[in-house]
Amino acid sequence: MTINSDRASVIAALRDQTVELPSWAFGNSGTRFKVFGTPGTPRDPFEKVSDAAQVHRFTGITPRVSLHIPWDKVSDYGKLAEHAAGEGVRLSVINSNLFQDDDYKFGSLTNADPAIRAKAVAHHAECVEVMRATGSKELKIWLPDGINYPGQGDLRARQDWLAESLAQVYAGMDPDHRLLLEYKFFEPAFYATDIPDWGTSLLHCLALGERAKVVLDTGHHAPGTNIEFIVMQLLRQGRLGAFDFNSRFYADDDLMVGAADPFQLFRVMNEIVAAGALAPDSGVNFMLDQCHNVEPKIQGQIRSVMNVQEATAKALLVDRPALAAAQRAGDVLGAHGLLMDAYNSDVRPLLAELRQSIGLDGDPIAAFQASGYESKVAVARVGGVQASWGA
């Protein structure tokens, strides 16, 4: 078996790795038929941040929390930022919401009605104000706009309206802000989604400017899509701004990352490592975007973080000089074998050692379970309205 034997460099890269957590992952979730409640579920953004901080306490690599507006709307964002700092984390990416307002039934930034487009732009201006209040530098837009039937809308006009709306949003941002533009090939629109793929997102980002980057959600692709190829291409152009890590079997399942296809996650991280994009100054923000429907929320996030770490560690073990030599020589089986050697390595002892070296338990799940946090908040958070998907 041939793998990278530079243990010190592998450990150093893993120690620098960070993953951002979504506030909404800590609320109740479920299917379109039922949202399931659990004891101790957060009732407000402050409690969501506290739960996110638990993941950081036991993994050591999740120091940032994404907010969703208006789900995480508060009267004093400075106070929320102070609360986050007191918990050992900080507020980061601000996510807009264009999919829960009756006015957006036929589109938001792409609506045929200029008044509705203006309303959607104004919502992003509000999000920029939240960024200023929290110290965030990134605004993320997922656009649910699209049409269900041929002829329902003018495909080209919708793209023109989108370009015009995005330009207004971008112009209202500060010089040190970044706009992160997500894509999704279907849902809730089925015939034609207005940003269905990475190419459409990239075209709009190129038109906006250098501070506009593409968000790649690993669950937003058709079955069989070579996601690692997209990762490589966006990295080549310097336009991969962020990941939304999750896992899918059939559609946008929002499962724990690596649950459905851990080998795919490894292949994605292999391209990240090969391009040097794992470095903290690479400009790529690694984030989770998941809805935990039946599993415990905090433990689900911890497991996802561990899965990302394991895939990353395996990618760092690839013997890249040997791989390059095999590729140049046309050694098909040798090159493939080098990847498989790294993928089949058991990196769990290495990661346990890493955690212990920074004062953490080698098994984050077991350590969290033993902490008693879930029992404590189940008692403390009685009354009020539990947060859930959409609130």
> pLDDT tens track of the chain, all 391 residues?
678 878 999 999 999 999 999 999 999 998 778 888 999 999 999 999 999 999 999 999 999 999 999 999 999 999 999 999 999 999 999 999 999 999 999 999 999 999 999 999 999 999 999 999 999 999 999 999 999 999 999 999 999 999 999 999 999 999 999 999 999 999 999 999 999 999 999 999 999 999 999 999 999 999 999 999 999 999 999 999 999 999 999 999 999 999 999 999 999 999 999 999 999 999 999 999 998 999 999 999 999 999 999 999 999 999 999 999 999 999 999 999 999 999 999 999 999 999 999 999 999 999 999 999 999 999 999 999 999 876 6
- Environment class of 109 (CB within 10 Å of its CB; exposed 0-12, middle 13-18, buried 19+): buried
pLDDT at 113: 98
Task: Report CA-CA distances (Å) from 106 to 11, 59, 147, 184.
Answer: 50, 42, 7, 17
Q: Looking at the domain assignment, is residue 272 inside a domain?
A: yes
Quickly count: other Cβ atoms within 10 Å of residue 35's Cβ: 17
Quickly count: other Cβ atoms within 10 Å of residue 202's Cβ: 21
At a CB cut-off of 8 Å and minimum separation 6, what does 118 contact?
A: none
Spatial separation of the C-alpha atoms in residues 275 and 352, rounded to whole Å: 26
Q: Looking at the domain assignment, is residue 255 inside a domain?
A: yes
Q: Looking at the domain assignment, is residue 339 inside a domain?
A: no
pLDDT at 389: 75
* Secondary structure (3-state) at 67: strand
Spatial separation of the C-alpha atoms in residues 155 and 152, rounded to whole Å: 9
Residue type, 362: G
CB distance 384 to 27 below 8 Å = no
Spatial separation of the C-alpha atoms in residues 50 and 47, rounded to whole Å: 5
Q: Looking at the domain assignment, is residue 358 inside a domain?
A: no
Q: What's the token pair of residue 22? A: 């979504």
Q: What is the pairing mode between strands 64-68 and 35-36?
A: unpaired
Q: Looking at the domain assignment, is residue 126 inside a domain?
A: yes
pLDDT at 284: 98
pLDDT at 390: 66
What is the total count of domains within the chain? 1
What is the maximum span of the chain, computed from C-alpha positions, in angstroms? 67
CB distance 212 to 179 below 8 Å = yes
- Number of alpha helices (DSSP H) and beta strands (DSSP E) in the chain: 14, 12
- CA 336 from chain centre, in angstroms, equals 29
Residue type, 34: K
pLDDT at 101: 96
Spatial separation of the C-alpha atoms in residues 156 and 138, rounded to whole Å: 28
Q: Looking at the domain assignment, is residue 228 inside a domain?
A: yes
Task: Report CA-CA distances (Å) from 206 to 109, 145, 159.
Answer: 18, 20, 14
102: CATH = 3.20.20.150
The continuous run of DSSP H or E covering 236 comes out as: helix 227-236
Q: Looking at the domain assignment, is residue 135 inside a domain?
A: yes
Structural domain range at position 267: 17-317
Q: Looking at the domain assignment, is residue 262 inside a domain?
A: yes
Q: What's the token pair of residue 241? A: 């701004």
